Amino acid sequence: MAGALATDYHSALIDEIKSLNFTWRNGRLVVHLATEFGFCYGVDRAVDYAYQTRERFPDRRVYLTGEIIHNPQVNALLRQAGVHFLSDPGQSIEQVDSADVVILPAFGVTIEELQQLTRRECTLVDTTCGSVLNVWKAVKRYTHDGFTALIHGKMHHEETRATASQALIADNGKYLIVLDREEAMLVCDFIRGQIGVDEFWAAFGEACSHGFDPVADLQRVGLANQTTMLMSESLEIGEMIRQTMIDRYGQDDLDNHYQAFETICSATQDRQDAVNTLLSDQRFDLAVVIGGYNSSNTRNLARICAERLRTYHIADADCLISGSEIRHRPTGGPPPSGAPGGVPEVASHHWLPTDGSVHVAVTAGASTPDSIIGDVISRLATFANA
Give strand pairing partners of 208.
176
306 vs 289: CA distance, rounded Å: 10
In this model, does residue 337 exceed pLDDT 70?
A: no
**Residue 289: CB partners within 8 Å, gap ≥ 6?**
298, 301, 302, 305, 311, 312, 313, 314, 362, 363, 364, 365
Q: What is the pTM of this model?
A: 0.89
Give strand pairing partners of 134.
none
> Of the candidates 124, 49, 55, which has an alpha carbon nearest to the alpha carbon of residue 86?
124
Over range 227-256, report the average pLDDT.
96
Which one of 1-10, 67-76, 356-365 scores highest in mean pLDDT? 356-365
Q: Which domains does the chain have, with CATH numbers?
A: 2-40+267-384 (3.40.1010.20), 42-129 (3.40.50.11270), 131-264 (3.40.1010.20)
The catalytic site residues sit at: 159
183 vs 54: CA distance, rounded Å: 42
Q: What is the DSSP string of 363-382?
A: EE-TT--HHHHHHHHHHHHH
Give strand pairing partners of 328.
346
Spatial strand order in the sheet of 62-64: 83-85, 62-64, 101-104, 123-126
> Of the candidates 101, 142, 132, which has an alpha carbon nearest to the alpha carbon of residue 296?
132
What is the distance, to the nearest Å, from the Cα of residue 122 to the centroid of all Cα atoms in its chain? 28
Q: How confident is the model at residue 305 (pLDDT cuts 50, 70, 90)?
A: very high
Over range 325-335, report the average pLDDT.
81
Over range 192-200, report the average pLDDT.
97
pLDDT on residue 4: 62
